[in-house]
């Protein structure tokens, strides 16, 4: 009896070490796949160890659930790369659901026989878990465009939201002090479910990278809380790692937008939109055809392509790969400048471009690429807007003033592929489009890039 318990504990210990190694190997693309294998091995060990536990008297439902989970998990692992943000949000929801359900069961099984500390942690577990569950479902819905993407704001929204959360926390404190009052518990689970929905309503598409990271962090913390309740160090470590990861990513994202957490969560952007859009005036822009764009690109030595969410929407990544090939063949040095908040989740653009077989050493981060723009002949902006807006550097009155941007305006020529002159998600006019060295290429990203590639091809045969 004692011996097998020790074996189980050792599998957990090994799994914990493998989980840490798994994240360590993620530091570089060359070792990252080892990280996945280490994680898988750790997971298999931990689950196998758990199944040995003598406390398990009935395996039937466990087996059914494991099979069912696998059947659901496989299609979720096979989604298209453009659908990764909503898939990720959905998996945060599933993780949080698991934690909330286990927490709820534990509450009713243990009754009043728990310490105050355990009860507080248990309440924290279910509050974080259930708000992450509905919040992530809402985020997934917005990303999948089942729900409207634009932020919905109303007066007093923050007061309402915080009030709702405060009620849940207050009830939790009440149960901790008076453990007998189990009838309050359904509200401790239910009210955060409502808060999760309310929390995401004011969030727009451009804020999704921060919000997904934050939900990731909550999911991790709720799992760590579950680890405290169950006294499982493996779970505490895994939850802490996930929580730390989500927290670092959200810090990165909000730093990349020059906004505080509270600013993202409490949606100040919504109100500032009007002021930004009102400043718009009619100014001249220069546009160019695919033929002209191809001529300029083929005469260049250094080209930096700046992709944004518009590239993902247009599914233009494979055409961009063809452009990359055509230019590289002519001896043009092509690199990609990727802003941390380009796309709908951290690293989204890198995955899409890697999918199109663009080598990862050509994908450069904001800090790595910005020094290159003054020596760049052509900066080609595809489906990105706010992250290239020079007003962030120059205009203290702009809502995005202070946000770190890609300095494409320092390149000799700037070309912007865009459907029309409409402002970006934040509703802010972009002075970049009116600069003397800027050429607007109006059209769908995918077909316009395709046209440029064709022009480059036909010019090559002359």
Partner 1 sequence: MKLDLMTDLYVFMLAAFIGFEVIRRVSPLLHTPLMSLTNALDAIAVVGAILLVGAHKSTLSTVLGTIAIVAATSNVVGGFLITDRMLKMFKSSRAKKP
Q: Which of residues 364-403 bind partner 1 (CB under 8 A)?
A: 365
From candidates 13, 169, 194, 230, binder to partner 1 by CB under 8 A? 230
Compute the distance between CA of residue 48 and CA of residue 15 in angstroms, rounded to an integer: 11
From candidates 127, 164, 198, 234, binder to partner 1 by CB under 8 A? 234
From candidates 165, 235, 306, 380, binder to partner 1 by CB under 8 A? 235
Residue among 325 and 377 whose Cβ is closer to partner 1? 325
Q: How is 259-286 classified by DSSP, letter by letter?
A: --HHHHHTTTHHHHHHHHHHT-------
From candidates 56, 160, 173, 279, binder to partner 1 by CB under 8 A? 56
* Residue environment code for 69-102, b if the CB has 16+ CB neighbours within 10 A, otherwise e: eeeeeeeeeeeebbebbbbbbbbbbbbbbbbbeb
The one-character DSSP state at 398 is: S
Phi, psi of 241 (to 5 degrees): -65, -45
Residue among 113 and 281 whose Cβ is closer to partner 1? 113
If one asks whether residue 195 binds partner 1 (CB under 8 A), the answer comes out as: no
332 neighbors 301 (Cβ within 8 angstroms): yes
If one asks whether residue 176 binds partner 1 (CB under 8 A), the answer comes out as: no
Nearest distance from C-beta of residue 319 to partner 1, angstroms: 17
If one asks whether residue 59 binds partner 1 (CB under 8 A), the answer comes out as: yes
Nearest distance from C-beta of residue 77 to partner 1, angstroms: 3
# chain residues binding partner 1, by CB under 8 A: 112
Q: How is 38-74 classified by DSSP, letter by letter?
A: HHHHHHHHHHHHHHT-TT----HHHHHHHHHHHHHHH
If one asks whether residue 227 binds partner 1 (CB under 8 A), the answer comes out as: yes
If one asks whether residue 144 binds partner 1 (CB under 8 A), the answer comes out as: no
If one asks whether residue 179 binds partner 1 (CB under 8 A), the answer comes out as: no
Q: How is 94-155 classified by DSSP, letter by letter?
A: HHHHHHHHHHHHHHHHHTT-S-HHHHHHHHHHHHHHHHHHHHHHHHHHHHTTSS--S----T
The active-site residue out of 386, 407, 409, 429 is 386
Nearest Cα to 378, choosing from 433, 321, 296, 312?
A: 296
Residue 152, CA distances (Å) to 72, 181, 205 in order? 32, 37, 11
From candidates 64, 146, 274, 421, binder to partner 1 by CB under 8 A? 64
Binding region for partner 1 (CB under 8 A) out of 145-153, 303-311, 351-359, 407-415? 351-359
Asked if 386 is an active-site residue, the reply is yes
**Sign of torsion, CA 312 317 319 324?**
positive
Nearest distance from C-beta of residue 101 to partner 1, angstroms: 4
| Element of type H or E holding 297 | helix 290-298
Q: Position of tokens 């309310």?
A: 198
From candidates 111, 148, 163, 359, binder to partner 1 by CB under 8 A? 359
| Element of type H or E holding 234 | helix 233-256
Span 81-120, contacts to partner 1 by CB under 8 A: 81, 84, 87-88, 91-92, 94-95, 97-99, 101-102, 104-106, 108-109, 115, 117
Nearest distance from C-beta of residue 57 to partner 1, angstroms: 6
Nearest distance from C-beta of residue 127 to partner 1, angstroms: 16
Binding region for partner 1 (CB under 8 A) out of 42-50, 165-173, 262-270, 394-402? 42-50
Span 287-346, contacts to partner 1 by CB under 8 A: 338, 340, 345-346
Nearest distance from C-beta of residue 158 to partner 1, angstroms: 27
Binding region for partner 1 (CB under 8 A) out of 75-83, 292-300, 382-390, 401-409? 75-83
Nearest distance from C-beta of residue 270 to partner 1, angstroms: 26
Phi, psi of 3 (to 5 degrees): -60, -45
If one asks whether residue 406 binds partner 1 (CB under 8 A), the answer comes out as: no
If one asks whether residue 152 binds partner 1 (CB under 8 A), the answer comes out as: no
Nearest Cα to 312, choosing from 358, 266, 350?
A: 350
Alpha carbon 35 to its chain's center: 20
Compute the distance between CA of residue 252 and CA of residue 159 in angstroms, rounded to an integer: 27
Nearest distance from C-beta of residue 345 to partner 1, angstroms: 6
Phi, psi of 438 (to 5 degrees): -95, 135
If one asks whether residue 219 binds partner 1 (CB under 8 A), the answer comes out as: yes
99 neighbors 122 (Cβ within 8 angstroms): no
If one asks whether residue 45 binds partner 1 (CB under 8 A), the answer comes out as: no
From candidates 119, 139, 191, 224, binder to partner 1 by CB under 8 A? 224
Nearest Cα to 440, choosing from 223, 284, 304?
A: 284
Nearest distance from C-beta of residue 303 to partner 1, angstroms: 15
If one asks whether residue 27 binds partner 1 (CB under 8 A), the answer comes out as: yes
Residue 198, CA distances (Å) to 161, 165, 270, 281 in order? 6, 10, 15, 36
The catalytic site residues sit at 386
């Amino acid at each position: 009896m004692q011996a097998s318990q020790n074996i189980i504990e050792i599998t957990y210990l090994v799994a914990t070490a493998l989980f840490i190694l798994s994240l360590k190997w993620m530091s570089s693309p060359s070792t990252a796949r080892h990280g996945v294998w280490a994680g898988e091995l750790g997971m298999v060990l931990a689950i196998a160890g758990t199944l040995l536990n003598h406390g398990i008297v009935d395996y039937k439902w466990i087996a059914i659930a494991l099979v069912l989970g696998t059947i659901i998990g496989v299609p979720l692992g096979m989604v298209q790369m453009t659908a990764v943000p909503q898939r990720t949000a959905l998996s945060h929801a599933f993780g949080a659901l698991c934690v909330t359900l286990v927490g709820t069961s534990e509450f009713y099984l243990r009754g009043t026989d728990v310490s105050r500390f355990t009860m507080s942690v248990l309440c924290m577990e279910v509050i974080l878990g259930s708000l992450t569950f509905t919040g992530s479902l809402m985020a997934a819905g917005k990303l999948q465009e089942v729900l409207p993407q634009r932020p919905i704001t109303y007066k007093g929204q923050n007061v309402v939201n915080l009030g709702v959360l405060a009620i849940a926390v207050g009830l939790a404190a009440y149960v901790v002090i008076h453990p007998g009052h189990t009838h309050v518990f359904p509200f401790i689970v239910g009210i955060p479910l409502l808060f999760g929905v309310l929390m995401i309503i004011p969030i727009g598409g451009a804020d999704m990278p921060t919000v997904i990271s934050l939900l990731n962090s909550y999911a991790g913390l709720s799992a760590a809380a579950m680890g405290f309740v169950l006294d499982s160090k493996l779970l505490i470590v895994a939850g802490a790692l996930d929580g730390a990861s989500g927290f670092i990513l959200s810090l990165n994202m909000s730093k990349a937008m020059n906004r505080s957490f509270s600013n993202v969560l409490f949606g100040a952007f919504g109100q500032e939109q009007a002021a930004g859009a009102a400043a718009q005036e009619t100014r001249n822009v220069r546009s160019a055809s695919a033929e002209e764009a191809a001529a300029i690109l083929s005469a260049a030595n250094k080209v930096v392509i700046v992709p944004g969410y518009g590239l993902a929407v247009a599914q233009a990544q494979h055409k961009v790969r063809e452009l990359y090939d055509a230019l590289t063949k002519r001896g043009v040095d092509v690199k990609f400048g990727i802003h941390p908040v380009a796309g709908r989740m951290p690293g989204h653009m890198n995955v899409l471009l890697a999918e199109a077989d663009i080598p990862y050493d050509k994908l450069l981060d904001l800090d790595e690429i910005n020094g290159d723009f003054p020596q760049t002949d052509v900066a080609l902006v595809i489906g990105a807007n706010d992250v290239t807006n020079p007003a962030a550097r120059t205009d203290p009155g702009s809502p995005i003033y202070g946000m770190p941007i890609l300095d494409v305006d320092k390149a000799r020529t700037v070309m912007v592929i865009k459907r029309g002159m409409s402002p970006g998600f934040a509703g802010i006019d972009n002075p970049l489009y009116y600069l003397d060295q800027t050429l607007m290429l109006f059209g769908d990203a995918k077909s316009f890039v395709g046209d440029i590639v064709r022009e480059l091809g036909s010019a090559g045969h002359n």
